[in-house]
Structure 1
Amino acid sequence: MKCQLILSLLLLTTCFVGFGQEKGAGKSKKQNADVVEKGLTKISILYPYAEGKTFDMVYYEAKHMPMVASYLGSNLVKYTIEKGLSGGAPDQPLLYMAVGAFYVKSLSEYQAAIKPNLDAIRADFANYTNVLPVVLVSEVVK
């Protein structure tokens, strides 16, 4: 079961169409690739798929993620938005409808920025989904 979960999570990254929002638009592809560097903290917000659950990608991209990003200030390096397409294996059902991710320099600064805004962030969920997200905090190692 643990191996299946790990495999599913690894495959998850190959099963999404990304819509990245970066500071400093207009940089070359080489420079953009360097933005996600070793040691950054990544906060992934995963929205599990289930029958009858909904997700408004347009609202999420235009309103929710920019709102949260605005709270993070100069600690934010980049954020991305991904739309789930399918599970990792052929004919496997969709695991996640969407994934949002924030890449930040400091986890403690991220937490300090989010804490006073947590009620507003949670209240906004109803505007785009009826799913309770799963959050994963990780360190970029490569």
Structure 2
Amino acid sequence: MNPKVILALIVIGTLVSCEPPQPESQPAQEQVSAIRKGMIKVTIMYPSSDTSRFDMDYYSTKHMPMVARLLGDSLKTLGIDKGIAGGAPDAPLPYMAIGYLYFDRLSAYQNSIAPHVDEIRSDFPNYTNVRPVILVSEVIE
């Protein structure tokens, strides 16, 4: 093979291998990296029963975006889980859905939610007929 061709291939190969990697869209990883030790996590659990109703589409496309808008910059990230099974074979589903809200400090949660509690609660009948169980906790890991 011609030495000039070999040299040209080496130069092209070097240039291509030195090109910076193209960014990939990975919102799940970005969301996970936004969750840090010491953050406040508000977990909203919707218990399941024979008579319970839950509209996941409404919850994920209307309710949670509304909550995010109302809480503003105090809300750092959020998450939604859809219940699919109990923990043991044939165990009843304990929760139809679970929502998560993350804040830097407890005061950030309290101050941002207080003026909007009534508006948020008034939206419940649009997607569920159950009262959620709410847990406020600190992220350890």
Give your verdict on TM over 0.5: yes
> Secondary structure, in 3 states, of the residue corresponding to 1:136?
strand
TM score, norm. by length of structure 1: 0.77
> Secondary structure, in 3 states, of the residue corresponding to 2:77?
strand
> Secondary structure, in 3 states, of the residue corresponding to 1:79?
strand
Partner of 2:104: 105
For 1:29 and 1:82, the matched residues in 2 are separated by 13
> Secondary structure, in 3 states, of the residue corresponding to 1:126?
helix
> Secondary structure, in 3 states, of the residue corresponding to 2:44?
strand
Judged with a 3 Å threshold, the aligned counterparts in structure 2 of structure 1 residues 30 and 70 are, in CA distance, closer, same or farther, namely closer
> Secondary structure, in 3 states, of the residue corresponding to 1:88?
coil
Judged with a 3 Å threshold, the aligned counterparts in structure 2 of structure 1 residues 54 and 113 are, in CA distance, closer, same or farther, namely same
Stretches of structure 2 lacking an aligned partner (at least 5 in a row): 1-24
For 1:29 and 1:127, the matched residues in 2 are separated by 28
Judged with a 3 Å threshold, the aligned counterparts in structure 2 of structure 1 residues 68 and 28 are, in CA distance, closer, same or farther, namely closer
Partner of 2:41: 42
Q: Which amino acid aligns with 1:110?
A: Y
Identity of aligned residues (%): 50
Higher relative strand content = 1
Judged with a 3 Å threshold, the aligned counterparts in structure 2 of structure 1 residues 28 and 95 are, in CA distance, closer, same or farther, namely closer
Partner of 1:72: 71
* Total equivalences in the alignment: 118
TM score, norm. by length of structure 2: 0.78
Query: Aligned ranges for residues 1-142 of structure 1 at < 5 Å?
Result: 26-27=25-26, 30-142=29-141
For 1:123 and 1:100, the matched residues in 2 are separated by 17
Provide the aligned C-alpha RMSD in A: 1.7
> Secondary structure, in 3 states, of the residue corresponding to 1:69?
helix
CA offsets 1:56-81 (integer angstroms, 9 cap, x no match) = 00000011011111122222221001
Greater C-alpha Rg: 2
CA offsets 1:89-131 (integer angstroms, 9 cap, x no match) = 1221100000000011121121111111111111100100000
Preserved contact between residue 74 and residue 108 of structure 2 (Cα < 8 Å): yes
